[in-house]
Chain A
Amino acid sequence: MSERGPNRPRPQLVRAEGGALFLDSELLVQMHGLMVKARVLEERLIQMYKAGHGYFWIGGPGEEAFNVPLGLLMKKGQGPAFDYLHGHYRQAATLLALGEEPIGALRQMKNTATDPYSGGRNFAGHFSKRAWNIAPITSPIEVQYVIAPGTALAQKRFGGDGITIVTGGDAGTAEGDFASCLVWSSRPGSELPILIIVTHNQWGISTAAATQQGPTSIADRGKAFGMRTASVDGNDPISSYLALKEAFAYVRSERKPFVLEAMVSRLYGHSSASGSNFVPGEVDCIVTFEELLEKKGILTRAAMDQVREKWAKEIGEMARKVRDEPQPGPESIWRNVYKEKP
């Protein structure tokens, strides 16, 4: 069986020779910068793992083209007036696009006491940031799909235009929680403002999606519930931005659910458990985007190299700083079992 699976679209960065790019150059440059920053961060995290500065790596190289526009389009803030994100563990790029500093991810990798997401308790990529409505990312696959309708219901009751976004992988849609999400988001008369996203990388650890799930499109499952659905090439940041923009606008204004499936790559395998080495043969969204940007004269090769060097240097310095930070003390295991009085 082909590693790519039968339904995987080719990237469509250049729709027609000389065609318009639909987004202005400033945004394209911004997205490129964030994609590279996220990739450099992930590569540094992998390097830390391999150097023994962390016990486990899991992350999202290959999902940057989709995850960056997702973060850029979110309405950032705390409480039901703003967007909630119930994400999964491949979304560093979304966090960076929201404006998060990369050093937090490095601290979590090194499980330092300063880890802002879990105090040294959780794996890399398991973000949590209540100030921006980032729900805690957990390792059990797809549980976020059954929690997300709760914040969406809170937002429906609250009014305003805040929405809930939930993301997960294709393999986990086999869990009942994905079906629960579809049911709870589309109760007649109580439809929820929720954007249900599946990033489809064709794999569940080592198992090919095409050997386990029959539907040719996961997004189509939403149709049985009367939902609007779409599928997008998640390796193309422009298509992703446009598809997300449309989906956000629909959910925000109509207060109804939308299922969006994004076909993405998994460039370093599932996690460090499978080696976290570069996987040849998958589309690299940064390579294809950079080819386009260069061809269209938006960025030169040298300028793009500079972007990478800048982040490599800065994130490298952060990693060295983190290396010397203290680990959590053993007494800290008792902290925050329950909410503590401020």
Chain B
Amino acid sequence: MAQAIRMALHYAEENLGVTDIFGEDVGPPLGGVFTVTQGLKTAWNSPLDERGIIGVAMGLAMGGRRPVAEIQFCDYIFNTIDLLKIAGNTCWSTDGDWNLPMVVKTPVGSGIRGSIYHSHSFDATATHIPGWKIVMPSTPLDAYGLMVSACQEENPVLFLEPKALLRIKGEEPIPGEPADERTLSKMIDAPLGDRSKWKPEWPALQPYAVPLGKAKVVKEGDTLSVVSYGRTLPLCVRAAVGLAEAGIHAEVIDLRSLWPYDWEAIRASVEKTGKVLFVNEDTEVTNFGEHLLRRTVEELFYRLEAPPRLLAGKFVPGIGLADALEVASVPQLGDITEAIRALASEQP
């Protein structure tokens, strides 16, 4: 997925007018702590100052440029929240006078044993900030297509990168990438050691965009609906596949965009199955899944055959380092499997 985002950013700086890809360690020699920005011609390193990164992105957007700013881990984005609010309200508070075409990308969530300050989620907080569009892919192809769409937006877009998935290989190729992963790696991954003379050899990428606000039915089913995004999405798919033999046919929806989100896709699925489980890993109190759950109750109550459920992260101050602590704090495959099984067995 890291390569997919990198290729999307390359495509965007070549074809979509992206002018500045920046943040801490984003430029050479490192190219991002997850290698997402290696070899990009407009990537540059910034001071270690998250407020500066967001503020400068806003100013660049005002100055007619098209920035993609990175906060190295979303754990460090919290001191910029008033700036994120201003970026989100600039168009509205000026009644349309100004708009900010800018993208902020940041890795989120657990899955790499990142301890208290490299495991935070940000989707619950982000969806409290109106005026942004918010996306979170779960496959490399969607990551590519969503970033391409984000870089064409006239409004601020928050691109949440599930860090547990940044190293996964996609099942569907990105249009234009070589079939062999070793070939791709030789072309676009920076070498170890001295990189001062290295230049990437970009594949001939094709335009491919995933529209913002469109979910995807990843697996069809009629027993119940499972709506998720990011790290937990592939776990939901695995759980659903594992339960098929037991006669439980879960329909799994990848939301992909958190705002705006694809209510029609959720509604159509819930009307078919009558049961829905929302899954994400942010802390469960005032969680985005609670909003989806509330809307499900209000608009689809008479179509429901069981109470809609939310499986989310525990409401504790952080994710502890030890294996058992992380596993106990955020949904794992077993938790999701059990939640699906329990909901499937509920009778009205």
Interface residues of A (CB under 8 A from B): 79-80, 84, 86, 115, 117-119, 121-122, 126, 128-130, 135-136, 138, 140, 143, 146-155, 157-158, 164, 176-177, 180, 183-184, 187, 335-340
Q: List 13 A-B contacts (CB under 8 A).
A: A118-B94, A118-B95, A143-B82, A146-B55, A149-B55, A150-B61, A152-B59, A154-B64, A154-B65, A158-B63, A180-B47, A335-B92, A336-B91
B interface residues (Cβ-Cβ under 8 A, vs A): 19-20, 47, 49, 51-52, 54-65, 67, 82-83, 86, 90-99, 130-131, 133, 154-155
Contact of B60 among A121, A135, A146, A154 (CB under 8 A): A154
Apart from the given pairs A146-B52, A335-B92, 17 other A-B contacts in the complex at a CB distance below 8 Å: A80-B64, A84-B62, A126-B93, A136-B97, A147-B55, A147-B86, A150-B56, A151-B59, A151-B62, A153-B63, A154-B62, A154-B64, A155-B63, A177-B55, A184-B49, A338-B154, A339-B99
In the assembled complex, the Cα of A146 lies from the Cα of B56 at a distance in Å of 7
Instruction: Give CA–CA (A243, B20) in the complex, Å.
Output: 34
Cα separation A150 to B20 with both chains bound (whole Å): 11
The minimal Cβ–Cβ distance linking A169 to chain B, given in whole angstroms, is 17
Q: Pick the contact of B58: A119, A150, A155, A340 (CB < 8 A).
A: A150
A126-B122 Cα distance, complex, nearest whole Å: 31
A79 to chain B, nearest CB (A): 6
Q: Which of A115, A149, A338 contacts B131 (CB 8 A)?
A: A338
Complex: A340 Cα to B91 Cα, angstroms: 9
With A146-B52, A154-B65 known as contacts, the answer to whether A128 contacts B97 (CB < 8 A) is yes
In the complex, the answer to whether A138 meets B86 with C-beta atoms within 8 Å is: yes
> Which single residue of chain A is at the shortest CB-CB distance from B48?
A183
A150 x B97 contact (CB < 8 A): no
| Contact A336–B95 (Cβ < 8 Å) | yes
Residues of chain A within 8 A (CB-CB) of B19 are 157
Contacts of B90 in A (CB 8 A): 136
**Contacts of B154 on A, CB cut-off 8 Å?**
338-339
CA A86 to CA B58, docked complex, whole Å: 12
With A148-B59, A149-B56, A151-B59 as known contacts, state yes or no: A143 contacts B83, CB within 8 Å. Answer: yes
Asked whether, in the complex, the Cβ of A118 is within 8 Å of the Cβ of B62, the reply is: no
The CA of A180 and the CA of B98, in the complex, are separated in Å by 23
Task: Name the B residues within 8 Å of A121 (CB-CB).
Answer: 92-93, 95
Residues B62 and A147 in contact, CB atoms below 8 Å apart = yes
Contact A143 B155 (CB under 8 A): no
A150 vs B53: C-alpha distance when bound (angstroms)? 9
B65 contact set on A, CB distance < 8 A: 154, 157
* Chain B contacts for A147, CB-based, 8 A: 55-56, 58-59, 62, 83, 86
Q: B64 touches which one: A79, A115, A136, A140 (CB < 8 A)?
A: A79
Give the residues in chain B near A149, CB-CB below 8 Å.
Answer: 52, 55-56, 59
Docked-complex contact B55 and A143, CB < 8 angstroms: yes
Contacts A143-B55, A338-B91 hold; do A150 and B62 have CB atoms under 8 A apart?
A: yes
Q: What is the minimal beta-carbon distance from A122 to any residue of chain B, in angstroms?
A: 6
Closest beta carbon of chain A to B87's beta carbon, Å = 9
Collect the chain B residues with CB atoms within 8 Å of residue A336's CB. 91-92, 94-96
Smallest distance from the beta carbon of B266 to chain A beta carbons, Å? 22
Query: Given contacts A121-B92, A147-B58, A177-B55, is CB(A140)–CB(B82) below 8 Å?
Result: yes
Q: Determine the residue in chain A with the shortest Cβ distance to B49.
A: A180
What chain A residues lie within 8 Å of B62 (beta carbons)? 84, 135, 147, 150-151, 154
Q: How far is the CA of A86 from the CA of B155 in the complex (A)?
A: 20
The answer to whether residues A122 and B93 also contact, given A136-B98, A151-B60 and a CB cut-off of 8 A, is: yes
**In whole angstroms, how far apart are the Cα atoms of A80 and B62 in the complex?**
9
* Given contacts A130-B98, A335-B95, A339-B154, A153 and B60 within 8 Å (CB-CB): yes
Query: Closest chain A residue to B61 by CB distance?
Result: A150
Set of chain A residues within 8 Å of B59, measured between Cβ atoms: 86, 147-154, 164
Q: In the complex, A78 Cα to B98 Cα: how many Å?
A: 12
Q: Which residues of B contact A150 (CB under 8 A)?
A: 55-63, 67
Which residues from B are CB-within-8-Å of A177? 51, 55
Q: How far is the CA of A154 from the CA of B19 in the complex (A)?
A: 10
Chain B: which residue is nearest A328 at the CB level?
A: B95
Task: List A contacts of B61 (CB < 8 A).
Answer: 150
Given A146-B83, A150-B60, A337-B91, the answer on whether A183 and B47 have CB atoms closer than 8 Å is yes
- Are B95 and A184 touching (Cβ within 8 A)? no
Instruction: Kindly state the separation between the CA atoms of A335 and B92 in the bound complex, as whole angstroms.
Output: 7
Tell which of A115, A149, A154, A164 has the most Cβ of chain B within 10 Å: A154
Per a CB cutoff under 8 Å, which of A154, A180, A339 touches B96? A339
Name the CB-closest residue of B to A120. B95
Residues of A with C-beta under 8 A to B133: 338
Contacts of B82 in A (CB 8 A): 140, 143
Bound: A155/B19 CA distance, A: 13
Question: Top 5 nearest A-B pairs by Cβ distance?
Answer: A150-B59, A154-B63, A146-B55, A119-B95, A339-B99
Q: Which residue of B lies closest to A342 (CB)?
A: B96
**Could you tell me the distance between the alpha carbons of A237 and B344 in the complex, rounded to whole angstroms?**
77
Q: A278 to B107, alpha carbons, bound, how many Å?
A: 53
Q: Which of B20, B58, B61 has the most CB of A within 10 A?
A: B58
B residues in contact with A128, CB < 8 Å: 93-94, 97-98
Known: A128-B94, A138-B86, A146-B55. A338 touches B49 (CB 8 A): no
Residues of chain B contacted by A117 (CB below 8 angstroms): 94-95, 97
For the complex, what is the distance from the CA of A147 to the CA of B54, rounded to whole Å? 8
Nearest-neighbor residue (CB-CB) of A337 within chain B: B92
In the assembled complex, how far is the CB of residue A177 from the closest CB belonging to chain B, in whole angstroms?
6
A184 to chain B: which residues have CB within 8 Å? 47, 49, 52, 56
Could you tell me the distance between the alpha carbons of A135 and B55 in the complex, rounded to whole angstroms? 13
B96 and A340 within 8 A (CB): yes
Contacts of B97 in A (CB 8 A): 117, 128-130, 136
